[in-house]
Structure 1
């Protein structure tokens, strides 16, 4: 006789029981945090992690945070801000572009490797992940990494799970490195420039030692952000103004970085794509995408393109992910090269041999 299990577990042990039972019955599961990161339409019962919540340990002096995956991200950010710290990778809030009203969670942020404009300077979410506890597809409780950087040795599975979107394991605890909250910021704006000109601006600025923490092109304007102490900020701002004087920069103290982070300019219901590319390829790709009839914006110094509109960007770019379907059918994630697909299949067989965790979500 099969015992009915609560699919809203409040403990790691309950997660393990659920996964062991579903593994035995070959029952697929849709893994859900706050439901604010991707349009998860995989078949199966929904395993929600919202009750597996709370901060385990926060040590401001060691700049280390340990929390459960269902912990609301806004609570984490408020707690860190009260101590003058932050998540350096600036996780975006996708609710506006997906039309969701849930609450982003820490686990969903890690599972999606969600990273905002500061990725240029500080790296992605996975770069700040020190360790994890998780339950694999067999129901085994495992841990990897440590609570401080010097204790992170061996094969770093935490980096593998970040960005796997719950297809390899269910996170039950994450250990993140925090960083001081930068006290001051300013932005250089360059109105009425093309993507090609924006790329030249980005290339020049990012090749300097002035620690640019944001480089985006939205609505025909390019933006460069610098952050730090007041004395440092003034020096770096003035040096960049002189270096880029030919592009007539304007100084802004209240630039739209939250909107850029969240791609708020592309809110709506039309298909929305997220495209990763070499920055040098971005202007040409944007020309091709606009020829399809849509609009583009750039982030990460040109390494990230947001495209809203008709057509299939995969005809132009290999790494195009369909973030908001808007009536478009087919796989959300791009197809993988054969060698990468074989590696991915091998990892899934190792972590989840019955294929019960978000089956098909990341299949191209």
Structure 2
């Protein structure tokens, strides 16, 4: 466990901490995604509050430590949502923390609807953060220019706190669909996910349970449109046995998917592998896990394996990026020498003392 935990309540507090700091720091939001280390923790949990929300403009500005639950509750009152469905892992990882909006964008946390609307980074409009020298940097949103020459909005999304401490984010929101349905299709071929995505019927979720052989296809939108597209998909897959989940059943199912409910009551290490959609099922066949699921039309593989099973070693000659969410292995996939050189070069421009989240690159 980390030895010291600090929760500064303002940017000036963060700057004061960084100016005199010489040792590594663990930068976190609600501490629900990045594993704990022995480094001193700086958490943004005390930087909370919705700064600006314009439902008509479909935009929101919030301080980084604002709980994701507060963001969702506020949006739901206006029948709006974070369309990229940020997942929540704390329950399956038995963590006491909570997701923050800054943490969502810092980790580019994106759920099943990514295949339709893009990842978290595609919804981020602006970011404000403090770099390793205590400088306040801002880009996008209400402040469109910066002096670094980088697109900081894209750079910060998915940076896992290695470039700076995010203090504020501005982002797009979207209306909640009028209705949705999910088709449960009995198929022993995971390629049915790609087949569904290649139809013109605007599929917003594809999920495959390898053990049961069930594929799940979601469509959302206005009631009349959903009914039409559902009928067309039923014709497209008329050779298969199909059950239909109504709107409430569908919402519950995809909430479970994004929160990994299917993997919760299982023993073993938990792995998340990003691959080409065509490679997902091949990786599962090679690894032979205790449990496995495909999301993102096959491009995201979830695995439960025996404790200590080295997934990365088995993947050496295969494409993919394997993150170990629970287990004895490093959380992050090793990167190549070229990738590390490039990442270090960018990182040193913002964090020359290399204080922030060293475990991500190491």
Query: After the TM superposition, which residues 124-273 of structure 1 pair with which residues of structure 2 at under 5 Å, given as runs?
Result: 124-147=119-142, 155-191=150-186, 193-194=187-188, 197-199=189-191, 201-218=192-209, 219-220=211-212, 221-253=214-246, 254-255=249-250, 256-267=253-264, 268=266, 270-273=268-271
Structure 1 residues 75-84 or 336-345, which shifts more? 336-345
2:69 corresponds to which residue?
Answer: 74
Q: Shift in Å at residue 8 of structure 1?
A: 1.4
From 38, 58, 62, give the equivalent of 1:63. 58
Q: Shift in Å at residue 87 of structure 1?
A: 0.4
1:288 corresponds to which residue?
Answer: 286
Q: Shift in Å at residue 240 of structure 1?
A: 0.7
Q: Shift in Å at residue 6 of structure 1?
A: 9.1
SS in 1 for 2:285: helix
- CA RMSD in angstroms comes to 1.8
1:95 corresponds to which residue?
Answer: 90
- Deviation string, structure 1 residues 64-104 (Cα, Å, up to 9, x no partner): 10001110101100100111110010000101221113221
Q: Shift in Å at residue 198 of structure 1?
A: 2.4
SS in 2 for 1:279: coil
Q: How many residues align?
A: 344
Q: Shift in Å at residue 155 of structure 1?
A: 3.6
**Aligned partners of 2:142 and 2:221: how far apart in 1?**
27
Runs of at least 5 residues in structure 1 that lack an aligned partner in the other structure:
none
SS in 2 for 1:280: coil
Q: Is the 8 A contact 1:276 1:303 kept in 2?
A: yes
The runs of at least 4 aligned residues of structure 1 exceeding 3 Å deviation read: 151-155
Q: Is the 8 A contact 2:5 2:43 kept in 1?
A: no
Q: Shift in Å at residue 269 of structure 1?
A: 5.1
- Deviation string, structure 1 residues 22-53 (Cα, Å, up to 9, x no partner): 1xxx1221112111113232x32111211111
2:294 corresponds to which residue?
Answer: 298
From 321, 324, 341, give the equivalent of 2:323. 321
Establish whether residue 11 from structure 1 lines up as the match of residue 7 from structure 2: no
SS in 2 for 1:265: helix
Runs of at least 5 residues in structure 2 that lack an aligned partner in the other structure:
none
**Aligned partners of 1:94 and 1:319: how far apart in 2?**
19
SS in 2 for 1:176: strand
2:276 corresponds to which residue?
Answer: 278
**Aligned partners of 1:121 and 1:223: how far apart in 2?**
15
Shift in alpha-carbon separation, 1:341–1:362, aligned structure 2, 3 A: closer
**Aligned partners of 2:100 and 2:159: how far apart in 1?**
16
**Aligned partners of 1:117 and 1:98: how far apart in 2?**
19
**Aligned partners of 2:275 and 2:282: how far apart in 1?**
11
**Aligned partners of 2:137 and 2:267: how far apart in 1?**
40
Structure 1 residues 343-352 or 262-271, which shifts more? 262-271
Q: Is the 8 A contact 2:5 2:41 kept in 1?
A: no
1:307 corresponds to which residue?
Answer: 303
SS in 1 for 2:61: strand
1:123 corresponds to which residue?
Answer: 118
Q: Shift in Å at residue 247 of structure 1?
A: 2.0
1:36 corresponds to which residue?
Answer: 32
2:101 corresponds to which residue?
Answer: 106
Q: Which has the higher contact order (CA 8 A, sep 6+)?
A: 1
**Aligned partners of 1:312 and 1:275: how far apart in 2?**
13
**Aligned partners of 2:115 and 2:158: how far apart in 1?**
18
**Aligned partners of 1:140 and 1:61: how far apart in 2?**
33
Q: Shift in Å at residue 152 of structure 1?
A: 7.8
